[in-house]
Chain A
């Protein structure tokens, strides 16, 4: 049953109840009392069920008033002109009261709706402010992390700077072979420590989502050139072959980070393959991605370990070869490549010896560090 229909039914019940009681107490009620009671009923109907049922109640009561309470009784005729006036006054009062109270009720409902609307707007605003505050907090904590990393880098590298500058000064001033040997140890170990600090910092930045984005449109040739330049010393004992496919598109990426990936692959290749062998670097377009490859002619990595080498602190080559390395390079490389929605993997070298590390980057992919 609809709410509106219910209103009419309740109004009808109320009207019949009222008319029945008035009929029962007819001896004690004059026409004024009856009319007032009926106006009251109309008002209640208007307040409770709005203008429709109120109007219905007034019409029903007008008929009842005329039929039951205005002489001659049990007819719809009115004999006395004074009763005509009373009857008209009742009709007008009942209708006006009904309409007025219904309108007041409507206004109240509109006001309530507005209140609800304002409340929901306020909630939205509050939510937005909360989110903004949260973003600001996050930004501040990112800034804090970044500042902390900078401070740690500074504090670790400053003493290293004094050590390295001192030891290289001493090295340039002495010819004493046994003294030089020890000074070389200090020199090399401070380089190693510095390299390690760099690795830890890169990893910390990557994991805290703080690796700085210098996202820009970059030519692939620039990425390869800068990696080769950085690896110049490490590669000096190898024959390096570079082949870049003609007409490669520019990439929108964190150029420094990607160049870093290529650099660590080159450095690894130089580290784990004998002097005099080839190291091949290629970049080519493969569908919608660019494929970078670094291949060496070293002993290769057993296929069982192809996944494991990308784990932190893992080193594929046995400790019998005391070679420098931290096992961080490849896990950092993986982090950077994946942040660019790319992937990195290992294949057996072409002549089924050596290692070929490949990473591919989608042509349109701004980096998303988590």
Chain B
């Protein structure tokens, strides 16, 4: 019963926001520490080894982007960035620096908690060995036979569609930029072929979504990329 609490490191230079997040996350059973800037966050990160990091982008000294890339050098821990700026370029920059998701300030606590839970679930999943069957929500993939089950029934995919779905599933609940997806699935030469990606996402949606016009699993993040939610 006494399962260890998940540890969350909150990094924000605004003391009030730190206070509120600490209180809100603790109430949901998380162990929380708050750092006022990137430098001290790195110190706490090294010693405390949190399960997830929530970081503001604009901070004195080491900012959120810098913190993301420093953490990414050492760890696969999920990172959520917070920002008052809703601009695509900022989001893409943060995601390409290693963040898994972003939340725009101001946000409701429920939204933040949902993102936190989804990312923690995924990092628990990826601890499995790579050749094992992958299961998340409504999806099951057996990498040995390349068999794909959606809601229990088999779906036939072309090799590229399979690669794409496998990548989405392995990084589910994370916002993946167009660049990241194209680079991983098609290779570094294809990072500008957004149109290409759109066609394949369209095909994949036709095969896995109940209503391809209103996708539930493979969600668009406008101008940024896609987020795969396998359902529960």
Contact = CB atoms under 8 A, between A and B. Distances in A.
Interface of A: 150, 153-154, 157-166, 168-169, 172-173, 187, 190, 194, 212, 214, 219, 222, 225-226, 229-230, 242, 255-256, 259
22 contacts: A153-B85, A154-B84, A159-B16, A160-B105, A161-B17, A161-B82, A161-B105, A161-B107, A162-B14, A162-B17, A165-B106, A166-B23, A168-B108, A168-B109, A168-B110, A169-B20, A169-B24, A194-B106, A214-B88, A214-B89, A226-B223, A229-B222
Contacts of A161: 14, 17, 82, 84, 105-107
A76 B163 CA distance: 116
B187 to A, nearest CB: 23
Nearest to B16: A162
Q: Which 8 A-B pairs have the closest CB atoms?
A: A226-B222, A164-B106, A169-B24, A168-B109, A161-B106, A162-B16, A161-B105, A168-B108
B14 A158 contact: yes
Contacts of B20: 162, 165-166, 169
Interface residues of B, number: 29
Interface of B: 14, 16-17, 19-21, 23-24, 27, 58, 82, 84-85, 87-89, 105-110, 112, 195, 198, 213, 220, 222-223
B222 A225 contact: yes
Nearest to A218: B223
Contact of B23 (A163, A169, A229): A169
Contacts of A150: 85
Contacts of B23: 166, 169
State the majority secondary structure of interface residues on A. helix
A164 B84 CA distance: 13
Contacts of B27: 169, 172-173
Nearest to B219: A229
Contact of B109 (A158, A165, A212, A230): A165
A212 B87 contact: yes
Contact of A165 (B24, B88, B198, B223): B24
A153 B84 contact: yes
Nearest to B26: A169
A158 B220 contact: no
A161 B107 CA distance: 6
Contacts of A242: 213
Contacts of B108: 164-165, 168, 187
A214 B213 CA distance: 27
A17 to B, nearest CB: 86
Contacts of A230: 222
Given A154-B84, A166-B24, A168-B109, 7 more contacts: A150-B85, A153-B85, A164-B106, A165-B107, A168-B110, A169-B23, A225-B222
Residue in B85, B106, B220 with the greatest tally of chain A CB atoms within 10 Å? B106
Contacts of A169: 20, 23-24, 27, 109
Given A165-B21, A169-B24, A172-B110, A158 B105 contact: yes
Contacts of B222: 222, 225-226, 229-230, 259
